[in-house]
Structure 1
Amino acid sequence: MNPDTIRSMIEAGMPGARVAVQGDDGVHFEAQVISDDFKGKLPLARHRLVYATLGDKMGGEIHALALKTLTQEEAAAAGR
């Protein structure tokens, strides 16, 4: 697994999301996902939305995925 594949999977499952993924060892990754799909959702619900785009890859090919999930408004306020 590589960061570009994970980014593509998240973008396919969350159209309009801005996604950046990093990870050098092929099993541990970090992702920042910016999407208005997160509006009104708590962090756990936001993470579940992202995990759903990855299906059975989570816990298998993707051993760990650290997530930072933001709405467009939150990202703008943070200067991202």
Structure 2
Amino acid sequence: MEIAEVRSLIETGLPGCQLSVDGEGCNFSVVVVGEIFEGLTPVQRQQKVLATVRELLSTGALHAISMKVYTPSEWQREQSRGTESGTPTAE
């Protein structure tokens, strides 16, 4: 499993979101930022991201994915605090 594969699945499933993907093998971490997460609980946000990689998780091709999910305003606050590294990008 490559970073590009994980990125592509999330970008396809959550169009318009910015993301950063890191990891290798079958373990990845992602930061996803998008308007789509406005008004959702943290669990609902994670469920949306997990839905994009569900098939890989079920087959074992992807063993673990950790995630941080933000709205654009939340991401901007995190950046101003300097608590989050990596810059999500839209491609």
Give TM-score scaled by structure 2 length. 0.81
Matches within 5 A, 1:1-80: 1-24=1-24, 26-59=25-58, 60-79=60-79
Gaps of 5+ in 1: none
Q: CA RMSD in A?
A: 1.2
Number of aligned residues: 79
Gaps of 5+ in 2: 80-86
| Identity rate, percent | 33
Deviation at 1:55, TM superposition (A): 2.8
Residue 61 of structure 1 aligns with an amino acid whose one-letter code is: A
Deviation at 1:40, TM superposition (A): 1.0
Structure with larger Rg: 2
Taking the aligned partners of 2:19 and 2:40, their CA distance within structure 1 comes to 18
Taking the aligned partners of 2:55 and 2:14, their CA distance within structure 1 comes to 17
Question: What do residues 9-60 of structure 1 show as CA deviations (whole Å, max 9, x unaligned)?
Answer: 1011111100111113x11110000011111111111011001111311242
Residue 14 of structure 2 aligns with an amino acid whose one-letter code is: M
Residue 30 of structure 1 aligns with an amino acid whose one-letter code is: S
Where has structure 1 moved over 6 Å in runs of 4 or more?
A: none
Residue 13 of structure 2 aligns with an amino acid whose one-letter code is: G
Taking the aligned partners of 2:21 and 2:7, their CA distance within structure 1 comes to 6
